[in-house]
Amino acid sequence: MPEVSIITAYPTFKGHPLEPLFQAISDGLRAKLIEAYDARLRNNLNDSFQGLLQKLDSLFAASRYPFEPHSKAKQYDSVEPILKTAAFLREFVHALPPKETISWRNEDDGEY
């Protein structure tokens, strides 16, 4: 029978701090994101974008790790806000023009 090892890692800080990540985005892009959110989801989710980020900090962790000990996933009635926000963000980012592109070089002939 092969040996079994348990490997664990611990983060330097707990949680998924969405608000600091949001604040790291440029002012212009942040304003566009809030404007798009207000137009599409604010009435449906009944919260500002910053308020939503605060709620999603803990919901994201709980919904992502429901199988871990001490999970708080059961305290939430629904993961609908995170699903709607994820779909909104996917569409928002997809609509942004590319700023950088990556070209892969073919190692056989050195061509891109």
**What are the residue boundaries of the structural domains of the chain, listed by start?**
18-95
Q: Lowest-pLDDT range, 17-26, 40-49, 83-92?
A: 17-26
From residue 33, how far is each of 24, 28, 50 by CA, in Å?
13, 9, 11
Backbone angles phi, psi at 37, to 5 degrees: -60, -45
Return the number of other C-beta atoms located less than 10 Å from residue 15's C-beta. 10
Nearest to 92 by CA among 47, 61, 46, 49: 49
Rounded distance between C-alpha atoms, residue 50 and residue 102, angstroms: 32
Average pLDDT over residues 12-26: 77
Rg, the chain, Cα only: 20
Question: Predicted confidence band at 111 (pLDDT cuts at 50, 70, 90)?
Answer: low
Q: Please tell me the total number of residues recorded for the chain in this structure.
A: 112
pTM exceeds 0.95 = no
Per residue in 33-85, pLDDT tens?
A: 999 999 999 999 899 999 988 888 767 666 666 777 777 776 777 778 888 99
